[in-house]
Amino acid sequence: MANTQLTVDPQQLFQEFFKKEKYRQRIAQLAITGKNSVIIDFEELYGFDQALAEQLLNRPEEYLLHAGKGAYEQLRIEDSEYAEKIEKIVVRIILLLGKEQLRKLGSRQMAKLIMVEGIVVRATPVRPMVLQAAFKCKRCGTMNQVEQTGQFLKAPAICAAPDCGRDGPFEFTQEESTFIDSQDLRLQEKPEDLPPGQLPRTLAVKLIGDDIVDVARPGDHVSVVGIVRAFAPSMMGLGKLRTFILQLDANSIEILGKEPETSPPTPEEEEKIRKLSQDPEVHRKILQSIAPSIFGYEHIKEAIMYLLFGGVSKSLPDVNIRGEMNALLIGDPGTAKSQLLQYVARIAPRGLYTSGRGTTAAGLTAAVVREKGGSMSLEAGALVLADKGIACIDEMDKMRPEDRVAIHEAMEQHTVSVAKGGIVATLNARTAVLAAANPSLGRYEPNRTVAENVPLPVTILSRFDLIFVLRDVPNKESDGKMSRHILEIHRRGVSPVEAQVDAELLRKYVSFAKGVKPALTVEAAKQLSDFYLAMRAASETEGSPVAITARQLESLVRISEARARVALRKDVTPEDASAAITIMKRSLEEVGIDLSSYKVDIDLIMTGRPKSMRDRLHIILAALMDMEKVTGIVEKDALVTELETKHKIPRAEVERMISQLLREGTIYEPREGCLKKT
C-alpha cells in the first residue's frame, strides 16, 4: 500500500500501479491490437491506493492525464518502438464503486467522475472532430498549430513566425490537422429505476475516441463512466444564458447486454434452477408461481408460462420462422386482465407494458426525429426496445386502427420497417406479444362469434397463437372460493397462495432457460401431425368448415418447445406435444366454434366469418342475382319472401344478412326498399 498523503508524484504512483502483472500484460498487448487506450478496474486502483483513487474521482481531468503519462512510461519499458509510434495513452476507468442516479445529477457532481446506467435512445452518426488544428498564414505561409477545446474552431490570434507576427488572414489546412472520432448519445433512465408516475429523464453523452464510438446502439442498456460537464447555451445576438445544461463526457462505456438481468445466476442459484428443473412437478410449480395473488385461471397461467419461455426461432436461407408466441386475452371487465399483463411485464427478463389509448404507431415501432443539425435519426419504440422480451399491450381494442396496423409486421415477421424522412430501415423486434381486449358490447356474448365480440380486425386475430376468453359467469362454488381469496388478501395483506418459486429466481430461471434449444423428437412430431391431420380430415367432407390451418400447426410446435424448455430439456417429448394440443384445443373451443353447426371453424379467426354464414350469404346473393335478371331491380320484401319459402331461412336472419351485405357494399339500395348487386 502506497502512502495515502499524496506527497509522491501521482504519475509515479500510477506507473507503480501499471507494474502489476495484469496491467503489464494489458499494456504489452497494445502494440498487437494497435490501440492506444488501456482499461483500469476502479476497485483495483482503490485497493492499491485509496487517496489516489479519491483524487481521481474529485479531480478527474488532471489525474486522468497523470494516469495516461504513467501508462505511457510503462509502455516505453514494455515496447519502446510502439511508444515512439503513438504519442500518448488514454486511460479508461470502469466499474466505479457506486453509480449515480440519472435524475439526481446536479451542480454537486460537476467536474467529478461518475458512473450512470441507462438505455441508449438515440445515437448520432460518428463524426470526426479536430483536436489540433493547423492554420496557414496567408502572408508568410507559416503553419500555426492550435489545440482545440470547446465547441467552436479557434484560429490563432497572431502568426507564430517571429518575422511575421501579424493577425492573419489564416486558412485552415485539413491535411496538417489531427482528428479523432466523436459521437453523441442520448441516455434515458432505465424503466425499472423510474419512480412511479414520473417522466423518464435523459442526458446527453459525448463520446470521443476511436475505441468507444459506435459501441452502443439505440435500445442497449449501458453503463457510462465520465466527467460531468455543464455548458451555457447561447441566444443569438444576446450572449450566453445563465442556466447551464449538463452533459457527460464519457471516459468509458460498457454494454450491459440487451437483457436487464445481466447478472447470470450465482452458482447457488444455478444449483437451485437445475434442481427445480429435475422436479417432475416443475410445470405445476412454475405455473403456481405466476401471479399467485390472482385466483384461478390455470389454463391462462399455463399459456403465460409458455409465452415467457418461448419456442425456438429458426432462420433458414429463405425464411425466418418466429419462436416467440403471441397470446390474446378477451375478457369481461373485472377479470384481472391488466393485473396479469402488468405482472408479466415485471417478471419477463425484458418486459414493457403499454396501454392502448395512449399508444401511437411511432411509439410502438420507431419514430423518425429531426436533430439540431437538421439531420434525421431513428428513435426506437416499445416493440424494438422489448426485442427478445415481452410486450404487454393492454386495451388493444381502444387503439386507433391506423396505429394498430403497425403491430402486424412485428407479430409475424418480428421486424419493424420504417420508411420516413429519407430513412429506410428494418429493425429487429423479436418480441412476444401478450395483449388484452374488452368485448365491444361490454360483456362477451357467448352466442356471437369472436370477430363480432371483439372490435379487432381479423388480420390481427389470426396472428395470435392462443386466444382465451375470460368470462365472468356467476357460479356459487367458484365465487365462494374467489371471495375468500380476495378477502384474505385484504385482511392479511399477503397472498394466501404461496409462490413455489420466488419472482427473482423465476426471472433468472426464464433467462437461463433461453439458452436451451429443444428439438422435436420423431414421436412428438408424429403426435402433432396426427392431431393436425385429424382436424383437417374433419374438414374434407363437402360443406364442412376448415378446422385448423398451418399457422396453428406452427403454434403447436412453439408451445411444445416452450414446455420442454421449462424443464430445461433438449428434446420435445410426446407429453409436451399432448400438453400443447390440449391447450390449443381449449383455445379453439373458446373462440373457433361455429355456433350454428358446433364445429370448430378456424375461419372465424382467419376471416371473421364462419363457413355456415358464408354459405348463406352466397345463397342470398345467388337469389338476388336470379331475380335481378328477371326484374332488373329487386324489391327487398320479394327477396325476403323468396328466401323464406324456397330456402327456409328465417326472416330475421335474412334481414340481418341483407343489412350486413349493404354495410360491406356488396349490394346497394338504388332507392328505398329496392336492392341491386354492386
Show the 3-state SS of 396-461.
HHHCCHHHHHHHHHHHHCCEEEEEECCEEEEEECCCEEEEEECCCCCCCCCCCCHHHHCCCCHHHH
Residue 177's Cα: distance from chain center in Å? 43
Mean pLDDT of 312-335: 84
pLDDT at 261: 47
For residue 169, say if its preceding peptide bond is cis, omega within 30 degrees of 0. Answer: yes
Report pLDDT digits (tens) over 416-433: 888 887 788 888 888 888
3-state secondary structure of 199: coil
The mean pLDDT value of the chain amounts to: 81
Which span out of 105-119, 210-224, 406-420 was modeled with the highest average pLDDT?
A: 105-119
SS3 of 239-262: the string is EECCCCEEEEEEEEEEECCCCCCC
CATH for the stretch 267-513: 3.40.50.300
Cα separation of 268 and 275, whole Å? 11
Cα separation of 356 and 437, whole Å? 9
Cα separation of 256 and 263, whole Å? 9
pLDDT at 603: 59
Residue type at position 173 = T
Domain ranges of the chain: 10-94, 102-255, 267-513, 611-677
Q: Is the separation of the CB atoms in 311 and 300 below 8 Å?
A: no
Lowest mean pLDDT among 104-113, 364-373, 431-440, 515-524: 364-373
pLDDT at 598: 43
Beta bridge partner(s), residue 225: 115, 252
What cell does 534 get? 385429424
Tell me the CATH number of domain 10-94, given options 3.40.50.11810, 3.30.1640.10, 3.20.20.70, 3.40.50.1110: 3.30.1640.10
Q: What is the DSSP string of 547-616?
A: ---HHHHHHHHHHHHHHHHHTT-SEE-HHHHHHHHHHHHHHHHHH-EETTTTEE-THHHHTSS-HHHHHH
pLDDT at 608: 56
Give the residue among 550, 396, 315 at the shortest CA–CA distance from 406. Answer: 396
Q: How many CB atoms lie within 10 A of CB 376?
A: 12
pLDDT tier, 258 (very low <50, low <70, confident <90, very high otherwise) = very low
pLDDT at 600: 56
Place of cell 507559416: 142
Strand extents, DSSP E, 232-334: 234-235, 239-240, 245-255, 314-315, 320-321, 326-331
What cell does 87 get? 504519442
pLDDT at 360: 83
Q: How many CB atoms lie within 10 A of CB 157?
A: 10
The 8 Å CB, 24+ separation contacts for 192-201 are 192/260, 193/101, 193/102, 193/117, 198/103, 201/102, 201/103
pLDDT tier, 7 (very low <50, low <70, confident <90, very high otherwise) = low
pLDDT at 545: 54
pLDDT at 222: 87
pLDDT at 136: 84
Cα separation of 313 and 573, whole Å? 18
pLDDT at 390: 86
Cα separation of 678 and 672, whole Å? 16
Inform me whether the pLDDT recorded for 205 exceeds 70. Answer: yes
CATH for the stretch 611-677: 1.10.10.10
Report pLDDT digits (tens) over 220-249: 788 899 999 888 887 777 888 888 888 899
pLDDT at 547: 57
Residue type at position 475 = N
pLDDT at 6: 53
Residues of the chain with pLDDT > 90, as a percent, come to: 2
Q: How many CB atoms lie within 10 A of CB 550?
A: 9
Inform me whether the pLDDT recorded for 341 exceeds 80. Answer: yes
Cα separation of 367 and 620, whole Å? 47
SS3 of 114-136: the string is EEEEEEEEEECCCEEEEEEEEEE
pLDDT tier, 592 (very low <50, low <70, confident <90, very high otherwise) = low
Mean pLDDT of 585-608: 61
Inform me whether the pLDDT recorded for 596 exceeds 70. Answer: no
pLDDT at 260: 44
Inform me whether the pLDDT recorded for 3 exceeds 60. Answer: no
Place of cell 320484401: 637
pLDDT tier, 262 (very low <50, low <70, confident <90, very high otherwise) = very low
Cα separation of 28 and 32, whole Å? 8
Q: Is the separation of the CB atoms in 205 and 226 below 8 Å?
A: yes
Residues of the chain with pLDDT > 70, as a percent, come to: 92
pLDDT tier, 595 (very low <50, low <70, confident <90, very high otherwise) = very low
Lowest mean pLDDT among 111-125, 175-189, 617-631: 617-631
Specify the pTM. 0.68
Cα separation of 589 and 467, whole Å? 10
Report pLDDT digits (tens) over 282-299: 888 888 888 888 887 888
pLDDT at 540: 60
Inform me whether the pLDDT recorded for 657 exceeds 80. Answer: no
Going by C-beta distance under 8 Å and a sequence separation of 6 or more, which residues neighbour residue 221? 117, 118, 119, 190, 255, 256, 257, 258, 260, 262
Report pLDDT digits (tens) over 31-63: 788 788 888 888 888 888 888 888 888 888 888
The sign of the dihedral angle between the CA atoms of 651, 653, 654, 658 is positive
Inform me whether the pLDDT recorded for 305 exceeds 50. Answer: yes
Give the residue among 527, 526, 524 at the shortest CA–CA distance from 570. Answer: 524
Give the residue among 174, 105, 109, 99 at the shortest CA–CA distance from 136. Answer: 174
CATH for the stretch 102-255: 2.40.50.140
Inform me whether the pLDDT recorded for 585 exceeds 80. Answer: yes
CA distances from 486 to 288, 480, 531, 656 (A): 17, 10, 40, 43
Backbone φ and ψ for 357, nearest 5 degrees, come out as -70, -40
CA distances from 604 to 227, 345, 389, 443, 646 (A): 60, 30, 29, 19, 28
Report pLDDT digits (tens) over 137-193: 887 778 888 888 777 788 888 887 777 777 768 888 888 888 888 888 888 887 767
pLDDT tier, 256 (very low <50, low <70, confident <90, very high otherwise) = confident
Q: Is the separation of the CB atoms in 394 and 355 below 8 Å?
A: yes
636-647 vs 651-664: helix axis angle to the nearest 10? 130
pLDDT at 140: 79
pLDDT at 257: 60
Mean pLDDT of 369-376: 74
